[in-house]
Amino acid sequence: MVVRKIIICPCFYFLFILFAFFYPQKHLSTHKNKPQFEELPDKVAIQLNDTHPSIAIAELMRVLVDIEELEWEKAWQITVNTFAYTNHTIMPEAMEKWPVSLMEHLLPRHLRIIYEINHRFLLDVRKTHNEDFDRQCKMSIIEEGDGNKMVKMANLAIVGSHSVNGVSDYHTKLLKKEVFKEFHDYWPNKFNNKTNGITQRRWLKSCNPELANFISENIGDGWITDLFELKKLIPFANDNEFQEKWLEIKRNNKSRLARYIKKHNNIDLDVNSLFDSHAKRIHEYKRQLLNALHVIALYNQIKANPEKEFVPRSFIFSGKAAPSYSFAKLIIKLLNSIADVVNNDNDVKEKLKVVFLANYSVSLAELLVPATELSEQISTAGTEASGTGNMKFALNGALIIGTLDGANIEIKDEVGVDNIFIFGLTGDGIADLRATGYNPWDYYNNNPELKQVIDMINNGFFSQSQPDLFKPVVDSLLQNGDQYFVLADFEQFVRCQAKVAETYKKPNDWARMSILNTANMGSFSSDRTIMEYAKDIWNVKPV
């Protein structure tokens, strides 16, 4: 069996505990005398929190048909009306496929049930698309391929659920138009969006008490249970005294983080430098590499023009790699190696620092988020389903530098395009470039700054004792086609970062933008998300 990378999106966790106690067993015990299974969907909602638990659809069918002896059609109606499915990512490695050979051994009855579900489903599809074999193949739950049959768990989840949702407007649009296009053609009303959210109790009140108290002193504490109350901050955005206090709180949070970094990394950060954070799971699509290339470009700029004015920056990276994702681990190694060179070079000492914080966790995020001024949300357009880190940082007054991807798009619409730094190819731009033939060498050959950066990595500048160590990084960008369009976005990214630095020189402008980010985060509360799931999918009222 092939072991594939499974990269779990941290935004899954918030749905895990919902409705656990509502399992059919409970229904059975409370309706002992005469179980009314027709009522199960009215009493119970089971939300499939990604593709991984899709087998539950076959299991409920088994319980209803084999044990409770319901007729197939009745059992199927109950099952579909009970289940709903949330898709959390379009990364192919997360779209689970279970080998039929494995299921034959471990879950033979479930496999038979899945075959029956698929048989009846495809009969239905053929009523309207009899000639369209390609469509039938794409929609089939069973993938027939060179002797290696697979169960497509995402297809099982879609067929067995009455609701399928994505986690941002843009992600849901991609599900409808591309990833699950055939299913959307077939069942347009099954698809809906539920943009992710974060809880302000953890991600402002608890992790940033000084800012939380300052906000409450000025607009009251209604925001703790109704995040739209933060709109009341808007009139303060141009108030100089308010701005100064706002920046002072940020500086205090930066000092707190700097003490942690001194203790754990023995690196001294200047609290007057721009704190620029890139913290999330390490993955090529999240483009920590693009950020790394920018750091090296700034290093070269300082070395080439030592007298030139420069806005001091502290780059803080954090994130874990999945255990089997060796390339992500090489990216971590590169970030640490860049840090070793930069932090020990006296020519850039006062201007540039790079830190990699090990063991990224929620607790560490609670320290990092309030101290961050610039939040890196730079995934290749069309790859990040939503993101929730983007929301946490903005709620705490960080400005986003980001692509038009995931929930960044909705955040831009809320905070206003003047209060966010947007750069890079759009999803359509990426698709066009891919269609016409993307050649990363063109960007390498036409941009001397980019060429210098890549040559340094290639020549072992950051790995003196092992000159070939980072060759695979360069290969991924040049020989292997740069799957995530790092080189295509490099120039725009560098230009946008220069705009960030210019803005940072004007503290009042920066403070105004920062206040307006916090003020406009109302719709990114998980309270709003949960209310939408309750109303539109579970049909339950808040108690």
The length of the chain is 543
Tell me if residue 281 is catalytic: yes
Site string for ligand PLP, 261-290 (x = CB under 6 A): -------------------xx---------
Could you say whether residue 360 binds ligand PLP (CB under 6 A)? yes
Rounded-to-integer distance, Cα 187 and Cα 340, Å: 54
Could you say whether residue 359 binds ligand PLP (CB under 6 A)? no
- DSSP states of 241-292 as a string? HHHHHHHHHHHHHHHHHHHHHHHHH--PPPTTSEEEEEES---GGGTHHHHH
Strand 83-86 and strand 46-49: pairing? Answer: parallel
Minimum distance from residue 166 beta carbon to ligand PLP (Å) = 15
Applying CB under 6 A, which of residues 25, 359, 361, 464 lies at the interface with ligand PLP? 361
Taking the least distance from each CB to ligand PLP, the nearer of 182 and 384 is: 384
Taking the least distance from each CB to ligand PLP, the nearer of 388 and 514 is: 388
- The answer to whether 418 and 516 have CB atoms below 8 angstroms apart is no
Structure tokens at 107: 């879950």
- The answer to whether 490 and 496 have CB atoms below 8 angstroms apart is no
Tell me if residue 280 is catalytic: yes
Applying CB under 6 A, which of residues 304, 362, 498, 531 lies at the interface with ligand PLP? 362
Minimum distance from residue 358 beta carbon to ligand PLP (Å) = 13
Q: How far is CA 125 from CA 128, 141, 153, 520, in A?
A: 6, 12, 18, 45
Applying CB under 6 A, which of residues 24, 370, 382, 387 lies at the interface with ligand PLP? 387
Rounded-to-integer distance, Cα 240 and Cα 238, Å: 6
Minimum distance from residue 91 beta carbon to ligand PLP (Å) = 12
Binding segment for ligand PLP (CB under 6 A), chosen from 99-107, 113-121, 186-194, 385-393, is 385-393
Among 97, 162, 392, 412, the active-site one is 392
Identify residue 452 by its one-letter amino acid code.
Q
Could you say whether residue 392 binds ligand PLP (CB under 6 A)? yes
Among 245, 278, 286, 287, the active-site one is 286
Taking the least distance from each CB to ligand PLP, the nearer of 155 and 526 is: 526
Minimum distance from residue 387 beta carbon to ligand PLP (Å) = 4
Applying CB under 6 A, which of residues 166, 382, 389, 402 lies at the interface with ligand PLP? 389
Site string for ligand PLP, 364-383 (x = CB under 6 A): -x------------------
Neighbour count for residue 122 (Cβ, 10 Å): 17
Q: How far is CA 366 from CA 15, 149, 478, in A?
A: 20, 45, 37
Q: How far is CA 543 from CA 95, 528, 540, in A?
A: 35, 15, 9
Rounded-to-integer distance, Cα 199 and Cα 263, Å: 29
Minimum distance from residue 41 beta carbon to ligand PLP (Å) = 32
Report 499-538 residues binding ligand PLP (CB under 6 A).
none
SS3 content of the chain, % helix, strand, coil (to 5): 60, 10, 30
SS3 state of residue 369: helix
Taking the least distance from each CB to ligand PLP, the nearer of 184 and 281 is: 281
Could you say whether residue 440 binds ligand PLP (CB under 6 A)? no
Minimum distance from residue 312 beta carbon to ligand PLP (Å) = 25
Among 88, 176, 205, 412, the active-site one is 88
The burial class, CB within 10 Å (0-12 / 13-18 / 19+), for 84 is: buried
Rounded-to-integer distance, Cα 489 and Cα 477, Å: 12
The burial class, CB within 10 Å (0-12 / 13-18 / 19+), for 542 is: exposed
Could you say whether residue 242 binds ligand PLP (CB under 6 A)? no
Among 171, 176, 280, 287, the active-site one is 280
Rounded-to-integer distance, Cα 414 and Cα 532, Å: 19
Among 82, 380, 388, 403, the active-site one is 388
Interior CA angle at 360 toward 357 and 363, to 5°? 110
Could you say whether residue 186 binds ligand PLP (CB under 6 A)? no
Minimum distance from residue 364 beta carbon to ligand PLP (Å) = 7
Report 465-504 residues binding ligand PLP (CB under 6 A).
none
Minimum distance from residue 360 beta carbon to ligand PLP (Å) = 5
Taking the least distance from each CB to ligand PLP, the nearer of 194 and 281 is: 281
Tell me if residue 392 is catalytic: yes
Tell me how many residues contact ligand PLP (CB under 6 A): 11
Minimum distance from residue 266 beta carbon to ligand PLP (Å) = 23
Applying CB under 6 A, which of residues 5, 6, 10, 173 lies at the interface with ligand PLP? 10
Structure tokens at 217: 């002193």
Binding segment for ligand PLP (CB under 6 A), chosen from 12-20, 232-240, 360-368, 530-538, is 360-368
Structure tokens at 18: 């919902």
Taking the least distance from each CB to ligand PLP, the nearer of 54 and 525 is: 525
- The answer to whether 398 and 277 have CB atoms below 8 angstroms apart is yes
Structure tokens at 280: 């999330």
Residue, CB closest to ligand PLP: 389
Minimum distance from residue 392 beta carbon to ligand PLP (Å) = 6
Could you say whether residue 388 binds ligand PLP (CB under 6 A)? yes
E strands, 74-116, are 83-86, 97-99
Rounded-to-integer distance, Cα 360 and Cα 485, Å: 26
Q: Cα 25 to the chain's mean position, in Å? A: 35
Rounded-to-integer distance, Cα 533 and Cα 325, Å: 33
Q: For 73, what's the count of Cα atoms within 13 Å in the CB-facing half-sphere? A: 0
Binding segment for ligand PLP (CB under 6 A), chosen from 357-365, 455-463, 469-477, 484-492, is 357-365
The catalytic site residues sit at 88, 280-281, 286, 388, 392
What is the binding site for ligand PLP (CB under 6 A)? 10, 280-281, 360-362, 365, 387-389, 392
